[in-house]
Amino acid sequence: MELSVLPGAGATVVTAAGDLDIATSDELRRYLHAVLDEHDSELYVDVAAVQFIDSSGLGVLVSIYQRLVGRGQRLTLISPHERLLRTFRLTALDQIFTILPALPAGPAAA
């Protein structure tokens, strides 16, 4: 798994690549919590290059979502491919996460 962050005014974009599974979920959790500790902004996670996500990866995203909701913010997932979208639909997580096909112009320019 590869992770990178692009902070901006009002929004932070984290790009994830590879598998988000039991082998990488602790790393993902630590990384995202560190990003939230450092940046008090909306969080966008670009998952276009994520090949696979299992229940531990989903659990990390849910815990990050809960933390953000507690701060009055939201978690937005960007560019999931059809396999990930199917997983989000089957688990009803598409009902709680904001899922967009592309990064909006505002956060990208921030």
pLDDT per residue of the chain (110 residues) written in tens, 0 to 9: 899 998 776 789 999 999 999 999 999 999 999 999 998 888 999 999 999 999 999 999 999 999 999 999 989 999 999 999 999 999 999 999 999 999 887 665 44
Cβ-proximal residues to 44 (8 Å cutoff; 6+ apart), any chain: 11, 12, 13, 14, 76, 77, 78, 103, 107
Kind plus residue range of the DSSP H or E element containing 26:
helix 25-38
At residue 9, the pLDDT reads: 66
At residue 107, the pLDDT reads: 60
Domains of the chain: 2-101 (3.30.750.24)
Residue type, 49: A
At residue 110, the pLDDT reads: 43
